[in-house]
Structure 1
C-alpha cells in the first residue's frame, strides 16, 4: 500500500468514527449526561432537599429489594450501590424498575404465547410415554410446558454438530431445499463468506416465491452491518427486522438482547446452537485460535416449537395478531425416533429463570456424570452450590472452558471461581487450540442440552435465549 493510499485509508477510518452510527449514539448518550449535570448545577442551591428526598427513596428501595422475591445475588448487586451512592443509586434503580418499555414488551410476549397455544397440537401422549419411561424427565417436561409453553416431542431426530464448520454445510444444503418459508434469527450477523453464501441462497429463494424472514439483534447495526442492510434485504424480497435497535435516547431495555440462534425451513428442519452468522464460527476467520462451537439440526415434530418461538419474537412488535395456520407442523414432518426433544425459550423479563432451572435440574439429578462446555463461567450462588454438591456426592463434573478467551475481563473473572470449584472436586479443562463458544450440558447418557445459554449472568438473567 502506497503512502497516499495509507493516508486515504486513515482519513476514511477517521470519518467512519466521526460520522458512524456508534459515534452518533455515544454523542447522544453524552448529551443526556451533560443535561443531567447541567440540571444538577442549576439546582445545586436546593441540593440538600434533593439529597434528603433521594435518601428517603434509597431507604424505601433497600427495604423493598430486601423483601421482594428474587435471587439474593441480584438483590445485593442493587442494595450495595444504592447504600453507597444514595442519589445516583436511587435514580438508577427507579429508572430501571419503572422502565415501561420492558413491561410493554413482556406483556406482548405473554400475549403472543397465549396466541400460540391454540396452534400447538396436543402432546399428552408423548408426555405420558416419557413419564412412564423416566418419571423425573416427565416432571421436567411438565415444568417446561407449564412455565414456558414448550411441550415434549417424540417423532423427532436430532443431529449434533461438534463444530460450526460442518453445521454450515448442512445449513446451506437444507436452505436450498426450501419450498414454503425460511425463518432466520441470529444474535451476531457479520459480513464474510458465511453470510454472503447464505444471503445468495436467500435471495434466490425469495425470487422463487419462498417467504423469507430475517431477524437479528440491534447491536449489529453499531459495528457489524451497514445502516442500509435491512433495506437491502427488503429490496431483495426478504422481510427484515432489527430487534431492539440502539437509539440516541438511552433506555434500560437495551440491556436485554436477542441472543438466540434459530433457523427454520418449511417447518420441517430447524437449526440452533452457538453458531452465529460470522466467519469465525466456521473457522474461516482466525480471531482467537481454533473456534470450538456446537449446534444441532432438528427434524420432525419438534421443529414446530422453533417455528412458533420465531413467530412470537417477530410479532412482538406487531400491532395485529398473525395467523399461524400456514406455518403449522406439516403432516409429513414426523420422523421415527428413539428419544424426545423439548425446544424451549428463555425470556429475561419475567420471574421464571427457565435457562438456569434446566441446568440446575440436570446437575442436581445427575447420577454418574455432568459434562459442560461454556465460553464464560460466572455462576451465581445457586449454580456454584449445585456444581460443588454434585462433585462432593461423587458425580463426575467436568467443565471445558476456552484457553484463548474472546473477552479477557470475563476470563479473568471466571478464574476467580476456579479454586472453589476445584477444591470441591469439579474438574476444569481449557481448550488449548483456541476458543470454546459451545453451550453444552450432557449427563448420564440420558439427557443433553445444546443451545445458546452461557453460564453467566447475561444469559441466565438478561438475554433472550433458546
Structure 2
C-alpha cells in the first residue's frame, strides 16, 4: 500500500512538473521575443484593416477608383506568366473585397526587400557564371546513355546553372541517427574549411555534438562558416547567437531574420540543408540539427527522415550554392570563390557511379527547377515512381503529372505521415487524396509517426534526395536544394528504404477518405482556396 501511495505521489509530482513546464513555455512565448514579434505584426494587420474600413466607409470616390483598379489587376493577372493557382487566389480576394485586395496586392508586389534580394542574386549569378560550367565530355556521355536524362540535365544547367557530374560517390542514409554519426566522422577529418547551412538549429544533443567539433576545428585553424535561417531567431536561438559563435572562432550569418514587420520577403525562407567539408565531401537531405531528427525528442511519433553524402566532383556545386547564399546574406562585396573551388581531390573512379546533378531552387528567379525535375521523372517513368514527402499541397500541373503517370500504367506510390506535424497541412493534403486515388495513384501513411523525407525513386535508374517537399512553399517560395542521381549504385539502397518504410504503412482507400471528420473535410476544402499562400 505504501509503495502504491509512493508511485501516486511520484506521478502527481511529474504531472505538476509537466504543467509547470507547459505554463513556463507558454509564458516565454507570450512575454518573450516571439510574443513581441507576433504582437507588432498583429498591430500592423490591425492598422491595414482599419485603413481599409475607413476608405470603404468614408471615401466613396477612392472606393470606386480602387474597384476599377481591381478589374484592371484581374485582367493583368489573367495575362501575366505567374502560376494559375496564385492568380486564382488573388482574383478571389480582389473580387470579394476589392479595396482590401487591391491594396494588399500592391503592397505585396512592391516589396523593397524582395526586389533587393532579387537584384543581389542576379548580380551574384552574373559574377559567378564562370564557375557554373558543364564538362562537355560528361554531357556527351550522358546523351549516349539516355537522351531523356540528357535533356533534363541540359535544362537544369541552362536554366538553373547546375552541371551534371561523373566521378562522384554517393552514400544514402535512411535515418537521421546514421546521418549525424557520419557527419561527425567527416567533420573530424576537416583540414581546410567547413561550410554548414541549415533551416532548423535547436539546442540539444545533436547541436551540442556538432558544435563541440566545430569549436575544436576552428581552434585548430580550420575555417568554419555556419549559416541558419532566420526562423530560428523567433524561438530556437537567441538573437545574439551569431556573436557567441564568432567568439568561438566560427563565422556565422543568419539568413533573413524574422522582424516585426509585414513583408513577403520574410516568406522566402532558406530551407536548404548543406554541409561541405574541404570541397571533397557534401551532405544534403531533410535532416536538420535538432533532436527530433534523431528521435531523441519525440514530437510526432517516430521521425522518418533521409539524407545523402557525396564524395567527388559533384561536391563543387554544393560549395558554390553555399558561397552564393553566404554572400547574399550580407550586402557587402562578393568574395572570390576560387580558393574553395580549386580543390585537388584524387579519387579512383568506380564503376556504377553513373551521374549526379546537384541543384538548387530560388523563389525569386522565375524558374522552378525543383518542380520541373519532379515532373520530368513522372513524365518519363516507365515502370514506377515512388515518393516520400511530409506535405502534399499540389498545383494543377503536378496533379496532372501524378494522375497521368498512374493512368498510363506506371506504379505511383506516395508515402505520407500518419502523425502530422501541422494539422492544417494534413487536412489540406487529404483534399487531394480522392482525386489521386481515382486516377490510380496509391497513397500510404507511415503509421509509426511522421515522414519528413523528400525522396523520389524511379525505374531503378533515377532518384532524388534533398530538401524539396511537394507543396507550394518548397516548390515556389523557399530556397531549396537536392541531388538527382542517375544509374548510381546507391539508387537500390534508396528504393530498398522506400520498400522497408512501406511495410510500416497503412494503405489509404476511398473508404478511409470518406471516414474523415466532417470538420476536417470542411476545413481542408476552405484551406485549399488559399493553398498557394500557405
Q: 2:200·2:229 contact (CA, 8 Å) conserved in 1?
A: yes
Report the count of equivalent residues.
Answer: 466
1:11: how far off? 8.1
Q: 2:132·2:162 contact (CA, 8 Å) conserved in 1?
A: no
Compared CA separation, residues 7 and 290, structure 1 to 2 (3 A): closer
**Residue 116 of structure 1: which of 113, 128, 136 is its match?**
128
- Tell me whether 1:326 sits opposite 2:339 in the alignment: yes
Q: Which residue of 2 aligns with 1:403?
A: 418
Q: Which residue of 1 aligns with 2:529?
A: none
Structure 2 spans left out of the alignment, 5+ residues: 1-12, 482-534
Q: 1:299·1:335 contact (CA, 8 Å) conserved in 2?
A: no
Q: 2:280·2:343 contact (CA, 8 Å) conserved in 1?
A: yes
Alignment of 1:356-395 (within 5 A): 356-395=371-410
Alignment of 1:183-198 (within 5 A): 183-198=195-210
**TM-score of the aligned structures, taking structure 2 as reference length:** 0.83
Q: Which residue of 2 aligns with 1:214?
A: 226
Deviates more, 1:308-317 or 1:244-253: 244-253
- Tell me whether 1:259 sits opposite 2:283 in the alignment: no
Q: Which residue of 1 aligns with 2:38?
A: 26
SS in structure 1 opposite 2:155? helix
Q: Which residue of 2 aligns with 1:51?
A: 63
1:333: how far off? 5.0
Deviates more, 1:348-357 or 1:267-276: 348-357
Q: 1:184·1:262 contact (CA, 8 Å) conserved in 2?
A: yes
1:116: how far off? 2.1
1:31: how far off? 3.0
Q: Aligned-pair RMSD on alpha carbons?
A: 2.1
Alignment of 1:186-335 (within 5 A): 186-316=198-328, 317-335=330-348
Residues 89-128 of structure 1: CA distance to partner in whole angstroms, max 9, x if unpaired? 1111111111121122112112212222223455111111
- Distance in 1 (CA, whole Å) between partners of 2:15 and 2:434 is 52
Q: Which residue of 2 aligns with 1:157?
A: 169
Deviates more, 1:119-128 or 1:4-13: 4-13
Residues 44-74 of structure 1: CA distance to partner in whole angstroms, max 9, x if unpaired? 7742122112112211111100011122111
Compared CA separation, residues 152 and 42, structure 1 to 2 (3 A): closer
Residues 9-59 of structure 1: CA distance to partner in whole angstroms, max 9, x if unpaired? 688656623441111112222332344455567767742122112112211
Where in structure 1 do 4 or more consecutive aligned residues deviate above 6 Å?
2-11, 41-45
SS in structure 2 opposite 1:416? helix
- Tell me whether 1:98 sits opposite 2:110 in the alignment: yes
SS in structure 2 opposite 1:22? helix
- Tell me whether 1:147 sits opposite 2:159 in the alignment: yes
- Tell me whether 1:336 sits opposite 2:338 in the alignment: no
1:249: how far off? 2.0
**TM-score of the aligned structures, taking structure 1 as reference length:** 0.95
Residues 111-163 of structure 1: CA distance to partner in whole angstroms, max 9, x if unpaired? 21222222345511111111111111111111011111100010101111111
Compared CA separation, residues 421 and 18, structure 1 to 2 (3 A): closer
